[in-house]
Structure 1
Amino acid sequence: MSELRLREDLSAIPDYKPGKATAHTAPEVPVYKVSSNENPYPPLPSVASAIADRITLVNRYPETAATALTSMLCARFDVTPANVVLGSGSVEVVSQLMRATAGEGDEVIFAWRSFEAYPMLVRAAGATPVAVALTTDHRHDLDAMREAITDRTRLIIVCNPNNPTGTTIGAEELTAFLDAVPGDITVVIDEAYVHFNERADSPSGIEYFRRYANVAVAHTFSKAYGLAGLRIGYAIAPERLANALRKVAIPFGVTDLAQAAAVASLHAEEELSARVADLVTERERVVAAFLAAGIALPETQANFVWVPFGDATTAAAELLERHGLLVRPFAGEGFRVTIAEREANDLLVALAPELAALVSPVSVAVA
Structure 2
Amino acid sequence: MNYEILAPAGNLEKLIFAFVYGADAAYLAGPKYGLRARAGNFTWEELKKAREIARELNRKIYITINIFAHNKDLKELPDYLEYLNKIKPDGVIVADPGVFRLVKRYLPEIPIHISTQANTTNIEAVKFWEELGAKRIVLARELTLEEIVEIRQNTAMELEMFVHGAMCISYSGRCLLSSYLTGRDANLGDCAQVCRWPFHLYEEKAPGQFFPIEEDERGSYIFNSYDLSLIEDLPKLVEIGINSFKIEGRMKSVHYVATTARIYKEALTLALEGKTLSPEKQNELLKISHRPYNKGFLYGKPQQGRVDEKNYTLEYEFVGIVWGFQDGLNYAEQRGKIEKGDYLEIFTPDGLTVRGIAQKLYDEEQREIPSTPHPQMRFYFAGFPPLPKYSLIRKVPRGVYDE
TM-score under structure 2 length normalisation: 0.30
Q: Would you tell me which structure has more strand in proportion to its own residues?
A: 2
Bigger Rg over Cα: 2
The structure in which a higher percent of residues are helix is: 1
Structure with the bigger RCO (C-alpha within 8 Å, sep 6+) is 1
